[in-house]
Structure 1
């Protein structure tokens, strides 16, 4: 049995590393530290052909987000072992497994108080991704390495001009229910952005006009 604790401590809270190391060994999964992916924090792939279980988690998550994402993916593994593909990916079976796997970390005080409270609330109804729970996402963001260029849409004053990683430029407008109406500068098309979408402000530029 291989001990992965030393490597795992670089990415997650140290007390959690031996537990995750044991999960990797017991499940026989290939656990990979992935490059940054904007579309997802982690990924689970079930056994296929000659391949066994495979889990990957983004390397640039803060330790608490990394741990929660890891538990999320192992809940998929546990659900697949019990039900194969006969149940929904984030259905009741996955939710129950996620809650059970999170318990050792909640009960042992692995998380700071603010994350602990947010996690307990989140466990009432776990979602497909922790970033879809606004309260948990906001609390986890407090522990990210400081990045003065990164903002979330909800932090920006109305009319701020911002850009996405793909270079597209938008202007923030008013909030509509849970999302913000934003106008793409080049096409004048309207898009609805999540409050926690990460963007880069163009020199803190704002304008009171929607004509470009």
Structure 2
């Protein structure tokens, strides 16, 4: 897939960065259906070309962010060698530099989040609550919300099971499964359906 054919998925003014980052490599880019397990991935193919897959369902700024993440893998491996850790210091330095280099692509309210994130990039998008909050758009159709928006005593459904929010333990929420009586810890950005 060419940079030109990616334009429908990307914010404006990204082609210069991509041409610069892609220039020395032969890369297969596959646009996939939405996957809940990952937003994108990178791997080197047996013919020494590279493959990046990215979910088609991502908003353009998030699509560019994920593409930058995956390209950082390629560039770090090519620069430092294949023995580096996939999300180690070499990747963090590469990804952080690329994010700052392309900062103008992002909206003004997202730029401070990107700058802060670039100082120590996380391997998993979900490990950055500020990014998750920024890119998550709740819709009427899914009725899901972050558990951190609920109050103590609220009932909610998670994976077809009903829970009671009992309170906060450090940064997580202690919740009781009403069918089994067992208690579980939920991260603040778990998406749940509040019971009315």
Whole-angstrom distance in 1 between the partners of 2:82 and 2:63: 26
Residue 3 of structure 1: how far off its partner (Å): 4.1
Question: Which residue of structure 1 aligns with residue 132 of structure 2?
Answer: 137
Q: Name the counterpart of 1:83.
A: 80
**Cα contact 2:42–2:53 (8 A) shared by 1:** yes
**Secondary structure class of the residue paired with 1:100:** helix
TM value normalised by structure 1: 0.80
- Count of residues paired in the alignment: 194
2:30 aligned with 1:32, yes or no? yes
Question: Are residues 172 and 38 of structure 1, via their aligned partners in 2, closer, same or farther at CA, if it must alter by over 3 Å?
Answer: farther
- Tell me the distance in 1 between the aligned counterparts of 2:179 and 2:22: 48
- Deviation of 1:74 (Å): 0.8
- Where does the alignment leave 5 or more consecutive residues of structure 2 unmatched? none
Instruction: Tell whether the 8 Å contact from 2:157 to 2:192 is kept in structure 1 after alignment.
Output: yes
Structure-to-structure mapping, 1:10-159, within 5 angstroms: 10-20=8-18, 23-24=21-22, 26-47=24-45, 49-50=46-47, 52-106=49-103, 109-141=104-136, 144=137, 146-148=138-140, 149-159=143-153
Could you say if the C-alpha distance between residues 86 and 9 of structure 1 is closer, same or farther in structure 2, counting changes exceeding 3 Å? same
Q: 1:190 aligns to what? A: 183
Q: Helix, strand or coil: the match of 2:91?
A: helix
CA displacement at 1:22 relative to structure 2: 5.8
| Aligned-residue CA RMSD (Å) | 2.3
Q: Which sits farther off after the overlay, 80-89 or 150-159? A: 80-89
